[in-house]
Structure 1
Amino acid sequence: MSALLSVRGLVKEYPQRGGKRGEVFRAIDGIDFDLREGSTLAIVGESGSGKSTTGRCVLRLTEPTSGSVTYDGVDLLGLDAERMRAQRAHMQIVFQDTYASLDPRWTVGRLLAEPLRLRERLTPGQQCTRVGEMLELVGLEAEHADRYPHEFSGGQRQRIGIARALMLKPRLVVCDEPVSALDVSVQAQVLNLMKDLQDELGLSYLFISHDIAVVEFMADDVIVMNKGRVVESGVCAQVLADPKDPYTRALLAAVPVPDPDALEDRAMRRAVIEAGLAAPVGGDSERAR
Protein backbone atom coordinates (compact mmCIF):
# COMPACT_ATOMS: atom_id res chain seq x y z
CA MET A 1 0.00 0.00 0.00
CA SER A 2 1.48 3.34 -1.07
CA ALA A 3 2.07 6.29 1.25
CA LEU A 4 -0.53 9.03 0.86
CA LEU A 5 1.34 11.33 3.26
CA SER A 6 5.11 11.45 3.84
CA VAL A 7 6.76 13.70 6.42
CA ARG A 8 10.54 14.09 6.55
CA GLY A 9 12.66 16.14 8.95
CA LEU A 10 9.69 18.20 10.17
CA VAL A 11 10.71 20.98 12.57
CA LYS A 12 8.62 23.63 14.32
CA GLU A 13 10.37 26.24 16.44
CA TYR A 14 8.90 28.98 18.61
CA PRO A 15 10.73 31.92 20.23
CA GLN A 16 11.80 30.96 23.73
CA ARG A 17 9.81 32.96 26.27
CA GLY A 18 11.99 34.59 28.86
CA GLY A 19 15.13 33.35 27.17
CA LYS A 20 17.92 35.17 25.44
CA ARG A 21 17.25 36.85 22.15
CA GLY A 22 17.31 34.32 19.34
CA GLU A 23 16.72 31.31 21.58
CA VAL A 24 14.01 28.97 20.34
CA PHE A 25 11.89 26.11 21.66
CA ARG A 26 11.54 23.12 19.33
CA ALA A 27 7.99 21.82 19.60
CA ILE A 28 8.78 19.35 16.78
CA ASP A 29 12.35 18.20 16.40
CA GLY A 30 12.99 16.60 13.00
CA ILE A 31 10.38 13.85 12.82
CA ASP A 32 9.72 11.39 9.96
CA PHE A 33 6.67 9.25 9.24
CA ASP A 34 4.47 7.84 6.45
CA LEU A 35 0.70 7.39 6.37
CA ARG A 36 -0.46 4.60 4.07
CA GLU A 37 -3.53 5.26 1.96
CA GLY A 38 -6.73 3.94 3.53
CA SER A 39 -5.09 3.31 6.90
CA THR A 40 -4.90 4.99 10.31
CA LEU A 41 -1.62 6.28 11.70
CA ALA A 42 -1.83 7.29 15.34
CA ILE A 43 0.41 9.84 17.02
CA VAL A 44 0.45 9.15 20.74
CA GLY A 45 2.12 10.98 23.60
CA GLU A 46 1.40 13.01 26.69
CA SER A 47 0.38 16.68 26.66
CA GLY A 48 3.19 18.85 25.31
CA SER A 49 4.80 16.07 23.29
CA GLY A 50 4.19 17.91 20.00
CA LYS A 51 1.54 15.63 18.52
CA SER A 52 -1.16 18.30 17.93
CA THR A 53 1.43 20.71 16.53
CA THR A 54 2.45 17.97 14.11
CA GLY A 55 -1.11 17.61 12.83
CA ARG A 56 -1.48 21.35 12.35
CA CYS A 57 1.86 21.57 10.55
CA VAL A 58 0.84 18.80 8.15
CA LEU A 59 -2.16 20.92 7.09
CA ARG A 60 -0.13 24.15 7.32
CA LEU A 61 -2.59 25.59 9.81
CA THR A 62 0.68 26.17 11.65
CA GLU A 63 3.64 26.88 9.37
CA PRO A 64 6.56 24.47 9.89
CA THR A 65 10.05 25.91 10.37
CA SER A 66 11.66 23.33 8.07
CA GLY A 67 11.32 19.86 6.66
CA SER A 68 9.05 18.42 3.99
CA VAL A 69 5.39 17.35 3.88
CA THR A 70 4.38 15.44 0.75
CA TYR A 71 0.72 14.63 0.11
CA ASP A 72 -0.08 12.36 -2.84
CA GLY A 73 3.18 13.41 -4.50
CA VAL A 74 2.66 17.15 -3.92
CA ASP A 75 5.16 19.13 -1.82
CA LEU A 76 2.78 21.06 0.44
CA LEU A 77 5.45 23.38 1.83
CA GLY A 78 6.26 24.52 -1.69
CA LEU A 79 2.72 25.71 -2.44
CA ASP A 80 1.69 29.35 -2.31
CA ALA A 81 -1.33 30.37 -0.22
CA GLU A 82 -3.85 30.07 -3.06
CA ARG A 83 -2.71 26.62 -4.17
CA MET A 84 -2.58 25.44 -0.55
CA ARG A 85 -6.19 26.54 -0.01
CA ALA A 86 -7.21 24.48 -3.04
CA GLN A 87 -5.26 21.49 -1.71
CA ARG A 88 -7.07 21.63 1.64
CA ALA A 89 -10.26 20.43 -0.04
CA HIS A 90 -8.57 17.00 0.07
CA MET A 91 -7.24 17.36 3.63
CA GLN A 92 -9.53 18.16 6.54
CA ILE A 93 -9.43 18.18 10.34
CA VAL A 94 -11.73 17.14 13.18
CA PHE A 95 -11.05 19.21 16.29
CA GLN A 96 -11.28 18.19 19.93
CA ASP A 97 -13.38 21.12 21.18
CA THR A 98 -16.73 21.25 19.38
CA TYR A 99 -17.76 24.38 21.27
CA ALA A 100 -14.78 26.25 19.80
CA SER A 101 -14.89 24.73 16.31
CA LEU A 102 -18.63 25.14 15.62
CA ASP A 103 -19.89 28.73 15.39
CA PRO A 104 -22.78 28.94 17.91
CA ARG A 105 -24.52 31.67 15.85
CA TRP A 106 -24.88 29.47 12.76
CA THR A 107 -27.31 26.63 12.21
CA VAL A 108 -25.90 23.19 11.53
CA GLY A 109 -27.11 23.47 7.95
CA ARG A 110 -25.17 26.68 7.39
CA LEU A 111 -22.06 25.23 9.06
CA LEU A 112 -22.08 22.21 6.77
CA ALA A 113 -23.00 24.14 3.62
CA GLU A 114 -20.21 26.71 4.01
CA PRO A 115 -17.47 24.49 2.46
CA LEU A 116 -19.79 23.78 -0.47
CA ARG A 117 -20.50 27.47 -0.95
CA LEU A 118 -16.79 28.26 -1.03
CA ARG A 119 -15.58 25.32 -3.13
CA GLU A 120 -18.37 23.93 -5.29
CA ARG A 121 -20.86 25.49 -7.68
CA LEU A 122 -24.10 24.12 -6.31
CA THR A 123 -27.56 25.63 -6.13
CA PRO A 124 -29.04 26.24 -2.65
CA GLY A 125 -31.27 23.21 -3.19
CA GLN A 126 -28.32 21.00 -4.06
CA GLN A 127 -26.44 22.25 -1.01
CA CYS A 128 -29.43 21.44 1.19
CA THR A 129 -29.61 17.93 -0.23
CA ARG A 130 -25.88 17.32 0.37
CA VAL A 131 -26.17 18.59 3.94
CA GLY A 132 -29.08 16.27 4.69
CA GLU A 133 -27.28 13.29 3.19
CA MET A 134 -24.18 13.99 5.26
CA LEU A 135 -26.13 14.36 8.49
CA GLU A 136 -27.76 10.98 7.90
CA LEU A 137 -24.37 9.46 7.05
CA VAL A 138 -23.04 10.38 10.52
CA GLY A 139 -26.12 9.08 12.34
CA LEU A 140 -28.20 12.27 12.66
CA GLU A 141 -31.32 13.37 10.78
CA ALA A 142 -31.68 15.75 7.84
CA GLU A 143 -34.13 17.99 9.72
CA HIS A 144 -31.45 18.70 12.33
CA ALA A 145 -29.93 21.13 9.83
CA ASP A 146 -32.19 23.87 11.24
CA ARG A 147 -30.88 23.50 14.79
CA TYR A 148 -27.93 25.20 16.49
CA PRO A 149 -24.87 23.43 17.95
CA HIS A 150 -25.91 24.03 21.59
CA GLU A 151 -29.08 21.97 21.00
CA PHE A 152 -27.04 18.77 20.63
CA SER A 153 -25.15 16.54 23.03
CA GLY A 154 -21.36 16.42 22.99
CA GLY A 155 -21.26 13.25 20.92
CA GLN A 156 -23.77 14.62 18.43
CA ARG A 157 -21.74 17.83 18.07
CA GLN A 158 -18.68 15.74 17.28
CA ARG A 159 -20.70 13.91 14.62
CA ILE A 160 -21.48 17.33 13.16
CA GLY A 161 -17.77 18.16 13.23
CA ILE A 162 -17.02 14.93 11.38
CA ALA A 163 -19.76 15.70 8.85
CA ARG A 164 -18.33 19.14 8.18
CA ALA A 165 -14.85 17.68 7.66
CA LEU A 166 -16.24 15.23 5.09
CA MET A 167 -18.37 17.69 3.07
CA LEU A 168 -15.71 18.14 0.37
CA LYS A 169 -14.94 14.41 0.17
CA PRO A 170 -11.34 14.53 1.47
CA ARG A 171 -8.95 11.61 1.34
CA LEU A 172 -6.98 12.60 4.47
CA VAL A 173 -8.55 13.56 7.81
CA VAL A 174 -6.47 14.76 10.74
CA CYS A 175 -8.28 13.78 13.96
CA ASP A 176 -6.97 15.87 16.86
CA GLU A 177 -8.12 14.18 20.08
CA PRO A 178 -11.62 13.77 18.58
CA VAL A 179 -13.15 11.83 21.49
CA SER A 180 -11.15 12.94 24.53
CA ALA A 181 -13.92 15.30 25.72
CA LEU A 182 -16.61 12.60 25.54
CA ASP A 183 -17.84 9.98 28.00
CA VAL A 184 -16.43 6.50 27.41
CA SER A 185 -19.72 5.04 26.13
CA VAL A 186 -20.11 7.94 23.69
CA GLN A 187 -16.45 7.58 22.65
CA ALA A 188 -17.21 4.02 21.57
CA GLN A 189 -20.07 5.16 19.33
CA VAL A 190 -18.06 7.94 17.68
CA LEU A 191 -15.01 5.73 17.14
CA ASN A 192 -17.12 3.02 15.55
CA LEU A 193 -18.70 5.65 13.32
CA MET A 194 -15.25 6.82 12.23
CA LYS A 195 -14.20 3.27 11.42
CA ASP A 196 -17.36 2.69 9.39
CA LEU A 197 -16.81 5.94 7.47
CA GLN A 198 -13.21 4.98 6.78
CA ASP A 199 -14.30 1.66 5.29
CA GLU A 200 -17.14 3.21 3.28
CA LEU A 201 -15.30 6.27 1.97
CA GLY A 202 -11.70 5.01 1.83
CA LEU A 203 -10.44 7.64 4.27
CA SER A 204 -6.93 7.92 5.68
CA TYR A 205 -6.70 9.11 9.28
CA LEU A 206 -3.84 10.86 11.06
CA PHE A 207 -5.20 10.14 14.53
CA ILE A 208 -3.80 12.16 17.44
CA SER A 209 -4.44 10.94 20.96
CA HIS A 210 -2.96 10.54 24.44
CA ASP A 211 -5.25 7.56 25.13
CA ILE A 212 -3.51 4.24 24.52
CA ALA A 213 -6.77 2.27 24.60
CA VAL A 214 -8.29 4.45 21.88
CA VAL A 215 -5.12 4.20 19.79
CA GLU A 216 -5.04 0.41 20.07
CA PHE A 217 -8.65 0.24 18.91
CA MET A 218 -8.28 2.65 15.98
CA ALA A 219 -4.76 2.53 14.56
CA ASP A 220 -2.96 0.34 12.05
CA ASP A 221 0.40 2.04 12.70
CA VAL A 222 1.62 4.27 15.51
CA ILE A 223 4.37 6.74 16.30
CA VAL A 224 5.14 7.63 19.91
CA MET A 225 6.26 11.21 20.53
CA ASN A 226 8.10 12.65 23.51
CA LYS A 227 9.38 16.23 23.71
CA GLY A 228 8.94 16.79 19.99
CA ARG A 229 10.73 13.63 18.86
CA VAL A 230 9.60 10.21 17.67
CA VAL A 231 10.90 7.69 20.19
CA GLU A 232 9.23 4.59 18.72
CA SER A 233 7.20 3.67 15.65
CA GLY A 234 5.80 0.68 13.83
CA VAL A 235 2.73 -1.51 13.48
CA CYS A 236 0.44 -0.54 16.33
CA ALA A 237 -0.24 -4.03 17.66
CA GLN A 238 3.47 -4.87 17.68
CA VAL A 239 4.61 -1.64 19.33
CA LEU A 240 2.01 -1.87 22.10
CA ALA A 241 2.55 -5.60 22.67
CA ASP A 242 6.35 -5.30 22.91
CA PRO A 243 7.43 -1.67 23.43
CA LYS A 244 11.17 -1.06 23.16
CA ASP A 245 11.46 2.51 24.42
CA PRO A 246 11.14 3.26 28.17
CA TYR A 247 8.77 6.16 27.43
CA THR A 248 6.38 3.86 25.52
CA ARG A 249 6.50 1.39 28.39
CA ALA A 250 5.69 4.19 30.82
CA LEU A 251 2.66 5.23 28.74
CA LEU A 252 1.38 1.65 28.74
CA ALA A 253 1.98 1.29 32.47
CA ALA A 254 -0.25 4.33 33.06
CA VAL A 255 -3.28 2.68 31.40
CA PRO A 256 -5.75 1.75 34.18
CA VAL A 257 -7.09 -1.81 34.36
CA PRO A 258 -9.74 -3.24 36.74
CA ASP A 259 -7.29 -5.61 38.47
CA PRO A 260 -4.11 -3.90 39.79
CA ASP A 261 -2.42 -7.32 39.86
CA ALA A 262 -2.92 -7.68 36.08
CA LEU A 263 -1.01 -4.59 34.91
CA GLU A 264 1.28 -6.73 32.75
CA ASP A 265 -1.48 -9.00 31.44
CA ARG A 266 -1.89 -8.15 27.74
CA ALA A 267 -4.95 -10.38 27.37
CA MET A 268 -6.64 -8.50 30.21
CA ARG A 269 -5.83 -5.15 28.58
CA ARG A 270 -7.25 -6.22 25.24
CA ALA A 271 -10.44 -7.46 26.91
CA VAL A 272 -10.87 -4.15 28.72
CA ILE A 273 -10.36 -2.18 25.51
CA GLU A 274 -12.77 -4.32 23.50
CA ALA A 275 -15.42 -4.14 26.21
CA GLY A 276 -15.09 -0.37 26.51
CA LEU A 277 -14.70 0.61 22.87
CA ALA A 278 -16.21 -2.04 20.63
CA ALA A 279 -19.81 -1.12 21.38
CA PRO A 280 -22.28 -0.90 18.48
CA VAL A 281 -22.79 2.46 16.81
CA GLY A 282 -25.88 4.24 18.08
CA GLY A 283 -27.50 3.55 21.42
CA ASP A 284 -29.93 5.54 23.52
CA SER A 285 -27.30 8.00 24.79
CA GLU A 286 -26.50 9.23 21.30
CA ARG A 287 -29.71 8.58 19.42
CA ALA A 288 -30.72 11.62 17.37
CA ARG A 289 -33.23 13.62 19.31
Structure 2
Amino acid sequence: MPQIKKAKMELQNKLKIAFLGTPKFAVDVLNQLQELGTLPDLIITNPDEPVGRKLIVTPPPVKIWAKERNIPTIQPENLKTIPPELNEDFDIFIVVAYGKIIPESILDLPKHGTINVHPSLLPKYRGPSPIQAAILNGDRETGISVMLLDKEMDHGPVIAQEKIDLSNWHPYTDELRAKVAEMAGQMLARIIPDWVDGDIAATPQDHSLATFTKKINKEAGLIDAKALLNPSELNFKEGEEIWRKVRALNPDPGVYTVTKLKGKDTRIKITRARMEDGQLVIEKVIPEGKKEMPWEDWRRGNLK
Protein backbone atom coordinates (compact mmCIF):
# COMPACT_ATOMS: atom_id res chain seq x y z
CA MET A 1 0.00 0.00 0.00
CA PRO A 2 1.47 3.38 -0.92
CA GLN A 3 2.60 5.73 1.84
CA ILE A 4 0.74 9.04 1.68
CA LYS A 5 2.12 11.86 3.81
CA LYS A 6 -0.21 13.29 6.44
CA ALA A 7 -0.27 16.77 4.86
CA LYS A 8 -1.11 15.28 1.48
CA MET A 9 -3.84 13.13 3.01
CA GLU A 10 -5.37 16.18 4.69
CA LEU A 11 -5.33 18.03 1.37
CA GLN A 12 -6.91 15.07 -0.40
CA ASN A 13 -9.70 14.90 2.18
CA LYS A 14 -10.52 18.57 1.56
CA LEU A 15 -10.79 18.18 -2.21
CA LYS A 16 -14.19 18.16 -3.86
CA ILE A 17 -14.12 15.19 -6.25
CA ALA A 18 -16.61 13.84 -8.79
CA PHE A 19 -16.17 10.27 -10.05
CA LEU A 20 -17.47 9.12 -13.44
CA GLY A 21 -17.60 5.34 -13.88
CA THR A 22 -19.96 2.44 -14.47
CA PRO A 23 -18.79 -1.24 -14.33
CA LYS A 24 -17.26 -3.44 -11.64
CA PHE A 25 -13.77 -2.35 -12.72
CA ALA A 26 -14.64 1.18 -11.61
CA VAL A 27 -15.98 -0.19 -8.30
CA ASP A 28 -12.68 -1.97 -7.69
CA VAL A 29 -10.85 1.34 -8.19
CA LEU A 30 -13.29 3.10 -5.84
CA ASN A 31 -12.70 0.46 -3.17
CA GLN A 32 -8.97 1.12 -3.30
CA LEU A 33 -9.54 4.87 -3.09
CA GLN A 34 -11.81 4.42 -0.09
CA GLU A 35 -9.28 2.16 1.62
CA LEU A 36 -6.72 4.94 1.24
CA GLY A 37 -9.03 7.60 2.62
CA THR A 38 -10.63 9.12 -0.49
CA LEU A 39 -14.36 9.18 -1.19
CA PRO A 40 -15.88 11.19 -4.05
CA ASP A 41 -18.52 13.81 -3.30
CA LEU A 42 -20.57 12.94 -6.39
CA ILE A 43 -20.94 9.88 -8.62
CA ILE A 44 -21.90 10.09 -12.29
CA THR A 45 -22.79 6.74 -13.85
CA ASN A 46 -24.87 5.27 -16.65
CA PRO A 47 -28.65 4.80 -16.42
CA ASP A 48 -30.13 1.53 -15.14
CA GLU A 49 -30.45 -1.03 -17.96
CA PRO A 50 -32.25 -4.33 -18.64
CA VAL A 51 -29.93 -7.25 -17.85
CA GLY A 52 -30.08 -11.00 -18.49
CA ARG A 53 -32.59 -13.16 -20.30
CA LYS A 54 -35.48 -11.76 -18.28
CA LEU A 55 -34.31 -8.19 -19.03
CA ILE A 56 -34.59 -7.10 -15.41
CA VAL A 57 -33.80 -3.38 -15.08
CA THR A 58 -30.61 -3.29 -13.02
CA PRO A 59 -28.51 -0.42 -11.64
CA PRO A 60 -24.85 -0.31 -12.70
CA PRO A 61 -22.31 -1.57 -10.13
CA VAL A 62 -21.03 1.94 -9.38
CA LYS A 63 -24.53 3.14 -8.47
CA ILE A 64 -24.95 0.24 -6.04
CA TRP A 65 -21.57 1.06 -4.48
CA ALA A 66 -22.48 4.74 -4.10
CA LYS A 67 -25.90 4.00 -2.60
CA GLU A 68 -24.32 1.79 0.08
CA ARG A 69 -22.19 4.79 1.09
CA ASN A 70 -24.88 7.47 0.73
CA ILE A 71 -22.94 9.29 -1.98
CA PRO A 72 -25.12 11.46 -4.26
CA THR A 73 -25.46 9.90 -7.71
CA ILE A 74 -26.72 11.14 -11.07
CA GLN A 75 -27.38 9.03 -14.18
CA PRO A 76 -27.69 11.27 -17.25
CA GLU A 77 -28.59 9.65 -20.58
CA ASN A 78 -25.74 11.67 -22.08
CA LEU A 79 -23.58 14.68 -21.24
CA LYS A 80 -24.48 16.89 -24.19
CA THR A 81 -25.74 19.40 -21.66
CA ILE A 82 -23.98 20.01 -18.37
CA PRO A 83 -25.89 18.55 -15.39
CA PRO A 84 -26.45 21.25 -12.75
CA GLU A 85 -24.72 19.03 -10.17
CA LEU A 86 -21.44 19.38 -12.12
CA ASN A 87 -19.90 22.80 -11.70
CA GLU A 88 -16.71 24.77 -11.17
CA ASP A 89 -16.81 24.16 -7.42
CA PHE A 90 -15.19 20.76 -7.98
CA ASP A 91 -11.43 20.44 -7.69
CA ILE A 92 -11.06 17.42 -9.94
CA PHE A 93 -13.05 14.83 -11.90
CA ILE A 94 -11.89 11.19 -12.01
CA VAL A 95 -13.01 9.05 -14.96
CA VAL A 96 -12.75 5.24 -14.84
CA ALA A 97 -14.62 3.25 -17.51
CA TYR A 98 -17.54 5.67 -17.68
CA GLY A 99 -18.65 4.45 -21.10
CA LYS A 100 -19.98 7.68 -22.60
CA ILE A 101 -18.45 10.61 -24.47
CA ILE A 102 -17.58 13.50 -22.16
CA PRO A 103 -17.57 16.88 -23.94
CA GLU A 104 -14.76 19.37 -23.50
CA SER A 105 -17.12 21.78 -21.74
CA ILE A 106 -17.35 19.29 -18.86
CA LEU A 107 -13.72 18.15 -18.93
CA ASP A 108 -12.61 21.74 -18.33
CA LEU A 109 -15.02 22.46 -15.45
CA PRO A 110 -12.97 21.41 -12.39
CA LYS A 111 -10.10 23.55 -11.15
CA HIS A 112 -7.49 20.86 -11.79
CA GLY A 113 -8.99 19.18 -14.83
CA THR A 114 -10.37 15.71 -15.48
CA ILE A 115 -8.09 12.71 -15.06
CA ASN A 116 -8.60 9.23 -16.43
CA VAL A 117 -7.23 5.77 -15.74
CA HIS A 118 -6.33 3.81 -18.88
CA PRO A 119 -5.10 0.18 -18.59
CA SER A 120 -2.12 0.40 -20.95
CA LEU A 121 1.18 2.19 -21.29
CA LEU A 122 -0.03 5.01 -23.52
CA PRO A 123 0.30 5.83 -26.36
CA LYS A 124 0.17 2.05 -26.87
CA TYR A 125 -3.29 0.46 -27.04
CA ARG A 126 -5.61 3.43 -27.07
CA GLY A 127 -9.27 2.45 -27.30
CA PRO A 128 -11.70 0.03 -25.64
CA SER A 129 -9.76 -3.25 -25.24
CA PRO A 130 -6.16 -2.62 -24.08
CA ILE A 131 -6.13 -5.43 -21.50
CA GLN A 132 -7.26 -8.01 -24.05
CA ALA A 133 -4.79 -6.65 -26.61
CA ALA A 134 -1.82 -7.11 -24.28
CA ILE A 135 -2.78 -10.76 -23.71
CA LEU A 136 -3.62 -11.50 -27.35
CA ASN A 137 -0.29 -10.11 -28.50
CA GLY A 138 1.73 -11.97 -25.89
CA ASP A 139 3.22 -8.78 -24.46
CA ARG A 140 5.86 -9.24 -21.79
CA GLU A 141 4.68 -6.13 -19.98
CA THR A 142 1.69 -3.85 -19.82
CA GLY A 143 0.68 -1.16 -17.39
CA ILE A 144 -1.52 1.72 -16.30
CA SER A 145 -1.59 5.35 -17.37
CA VAL A 146 -3.15 8.18 -15.41
CA MET A 147 -3.79 10.94 -17.90
CA LEU A 148 -5.42 14.32 -18.28
CA LEU A 149 -8.43 13.95 -20.55
CA ASP A 150 -8.87 16.09 -23.65
CA LYS A 151 -11.42 15.97 -26.47
CA GLU A 152 -9.70 13.09 -28.33
CA MET A 153 -9.74 9.42 -27.30
CA ASP A 154 -6.92 8.49 -24.90
CA HIS A 155 -4.95 11.38 -26.35
CA GLY A 156 -4.23 13.68 -23.42
CA PRO A 157 -0.93 14.20 -21.58
CA VAL A 158 0.18 11.51 -19.13
CA ILE A 159 0.54 12.34 -15.44
CA ALA A 160 1.93 8.97 -14.29
CA GLN A 161 2.49 5.39 -15.45
CA GLU A 162 3.24 2.09 -13.76
CA LYS A 163 4.30 -1.15 -15.43
CA ILE A 164 2.99 -4.68 -14.88
CA ASP A 165 5.40 -7.53 -15.63
CA LEU A 166 3.84 -10.31 -17.73
CA SER A 167 7.03 -12.22 -18.52
CA ASN A 168 6.32 -14.91 -15.91
CA TRP A 169 2.62 -14.28 -15.32
CA HIS A 170 0.00 -15.39 -17.85
CA PRO A 171 -3.28 -13.94 -16.57
CA TYR A 172 -6.79 -14.18 -17.89
CA THR A 173 -8.48 -10.85 -18.63
CA ASP A 174 -10.42 -10.81 -15.35
CA GLU A 175 -7.23 -11.45 -13.36
CA LEU A 176 -5.29 -8.71 -15.13
CA ARG A 177 -8.24 -6.32 -14.83
CA ALA A 178 -8.36 -6.92 -11.05
CA LYS A 179 -4.62 -6.20 -10.79
CA VAL A 180 -4.99 -3.02 -12.83
CA ALA A 181 -7.91 -1.81 -10.68
CA GLU A 182 -5.98 -2.37 -7.45
CA MET A 183 -2.92 -0.52 -8.75
CA ALA A 184 -4.99 2.26 -10.32
CA GLY A 185 -6.75 3.10 -7.06
CA GLN A 186 -3.41 3.25 -5.27
CA MET A 187 -1.91 5.42 -8.02
CA LEU A 188 -4.80 7.89 -7.91
CA ALA A 189 -4.64 8.20 -4.12
CA ARG A 190 -0.93 8.92 -4.33
CA ILE A 191 -0.98 11.18 -7.39
CA ILE A 192 -4.00 13.45 -6.86
CA PRO A 193 -2.54 15.51 -3.96
CA ASP A 194 0.73 16.02 -5.85
CA TRP A 195 -1.15 16.96 -9.03
CA VAL A 196 -3.34 19.49 -7.21
CA ASP A 197 -0.30 20.91 -5.39
CA GLY A 198 1.57 21.33 -8.68
CA ASP A 199 4.35 18.95 -7.60
CA ILE A 200 4.02 16.83 -10.76
CA ALA A 201 3.33 17.76 -14.38
CA ALA A 202 1.66 16.02 -17.30
CA THR A 203 3.81 14.93 -20.25
CA PRO A 204 2.38 15.01 -23.81
CA GLN A 205 2.17 11.63 -25.52
CA ASP A 206 4.24 10.88 -28.61
CA HIS A 207 1.26 10.54 -30.94
CA SER A 208 3.43 9.06 -33.70
CA LEU A 209 3.77 5.91 -31.54
CA ALA A 210 0.03 5.51 -30.91
CA THR A 211 -1.61 2.13 -31.53
CA PHE A 212 -5.32 1.45 -31.30
CA THR A 213 -7.63 -1.31 -30.10
CA LYS A 214 -11.16 -2.11 -31.22
CA LYS A 215 -14.29 -3.26 -29.47
CA ILE A 216 -14.22 -7.07 -29.36
CA ASN A 217 -17.23 -8.81 -30.89
CA LYS A 218 -18.44 -12.40 -30.49
CA GLU A 219 -16.99 -13.46 -33.83
CA ALA A 220 -13.48 -12.80 -32.49
CA GLY A 221 -13.84 -15.85 -30.23
CA LEU A 222 -14.62 -18.39 -32.98
CA ILE A 223 -11.83 -20.95 -33.49
CA ASP A 224 -11.34 -24.04 -35.66
CA ALA A 225 -12.94 -27.18 -34.22
CA LYS A 226 -9.57 -28.95 -34.53
CA ALA A 227 -8.40 -27.07 -31.44
CA LEU A 228 -11.15 -28.73 -29.41
CA LEU A 229 -11.18 -32.18 -31.00
CA ASN A 230 -7.44 -32.74 -31.51
CA PRO A 231 -5.41 -30.01 -29.79
CA SER A 232 -2.25 -32.14 -29.89
CA GLU A 233 -2.23 -31.81 -33.69
CA LEU A 234 -1.72 -28.05 -33.52
CA ASN A 235 1.79 -26.69 -33.94
CA PHE A 236 3.27 -24.38 -31.29
CA LYS A 237 2.25 -21.15 -33.03
CA GLU A 238 -1.35 -22.32 -33.54
CA GLY A 239 -1.63 -23.59 -29.98
CA GLU A 240 -0.18 -20.46 -28.42
CA GLU A 241 -2.52 -18.23 -30.42
CA ILE A 242 -5.56 -20.12 -29.13
CA TRP A 243 -4.17 -20.16 -25.57
CA ARG A 244 -3.86 -16.38 -25.69
CA LYS A 245 -7.39 -16.09 -27.05
CA VAL A 246 -8.80 -18.24 -24.26
CA ARG A 247 -7.12 -16.01 -21.67
CA ALA A 248 -7.96 -12.73 -23.39
CA LEU A 249 -11.58 -13.33 -24.37
CA ASN A 250 -12.89 -15.11 -21.28
CA PRO A 251 -15.31 -14.60 -19.71
CA ASP A 252 -16.70 -12.26 -22.37
CA PRO A 253 -17.26 -12.72 -25.29
CA GLY A 254 -15.60 -16.13 -24.83
CA VAL A 255 -13.78 -18.55 -27.11
CA TYR A 256 -15.90 -21.18 -28.83
CA THR A 257 -16.15 -23.58 -31.72
CA VAL A 258 -19.00 -25.38 -33.44
CA THR A 259 -18.82 -29.11 -34.14
CA LYS A 260 -21.27 -31.84 -35.14
CA LEU A 261 -22.42 -34.08 -32.31
CA LYS A 262 -25.06 -36.72 -33.00
CA GLY A 263 -25.71 -35.07 -36.35
CA LYS A 264 -26.36 -31.65 -34.84
CA ASP A 265 -24.20 -28.52 -34.86
CA THR A 266 -23.21 -27.92 -31.24
CA ARG A 267 -21.47 -24.89 -29.78
CA ILE A 268 -18.70 -25.59 -27.26
CA LYS A 269 -17.09 -22.81 -25.24
CA ILE A 270 -13.47 -23.22 -24.11
CA THR A 271 -12.96 -21.56 -20.73
CA ARG A 272 -9.55 -22.77 -19.55
CA ALA A 273 -6.38 -23.89 -21.33
CA ARG A 274 -2.63 -24.01 -20.85
CA MET A 275 0.55 -24.62 -22.82
CA GLU A 276 2.55 -27.69 -21.79
CA ASP A 277 5.76 -28.82 -23.52
CA GLY A 278 4.89 -26.66 -26.51
CA GLN A 279 1.39 -28.10 -26.90
CA LEU A 280 -2.04 -26.64 -26.25
CA VAL A 281 -3.90 -28.44 -23.46
CA ILE A 282 -7.63 -27.78 -23.15
CA GLU A 283 -8.63 -27.87 -19.47
CA LYS A 284 -12.30 -26.85 -19.22
CA VAL A 285 -15.23 -26.39 -21.58
CA ILE A 286 -18.90 -25.43 -21.45
CA PRO A 287 -20.98 -27.55 -23.87
CA GLU A 288 -24.09 -25.89 -25.25
CA GLY A 289 -26.88 -26.01 -22.66
CA LYS A 290 -24.65 -27.50 -19.95
CA LYS A 291 -22.36 -26.45 -17.12
CA GLU A 292 -18.59 -26.11 -17.20
CA MET A 293 -16.76 -29.44 -17.10
CA PRO A 294 -13.24 -30.83 -17.57
CA TRP A 295 -12.38 -31.22 -21.25
CA GLU A 296 -11.28 -34.83 -20.68
CA ASP A 297 -14.73 -35.71 -19.31
CA TRP A 298 -16.42 -34.07 -22.29
CA ARG A 299 -14.07 -35.84 -24.72
CA ARG A 300 -14.70 -39.27 -23.21
CA GLY A 301 -18.45 -38.77 -23.43
CA ASN A 302 -18.56 -37.41 -26.98
CA LEU A 303 -15.53 -38.53 -28.99
CA LYS A 304 -15.33 -42.23 -29.73
TM over 0.5: no
Higher Rg of the two aligned structures? 2
Q: Which has the higher helix share?
A: 1
Higher RCO structure, 1 or 2 (CA under 8 Å, sep 6+): 1
Q: TM-score w.r.t. structure 1 length?
A: 0.25
Q: TM-score w.r.t. structure 2 length?
A: 0.24
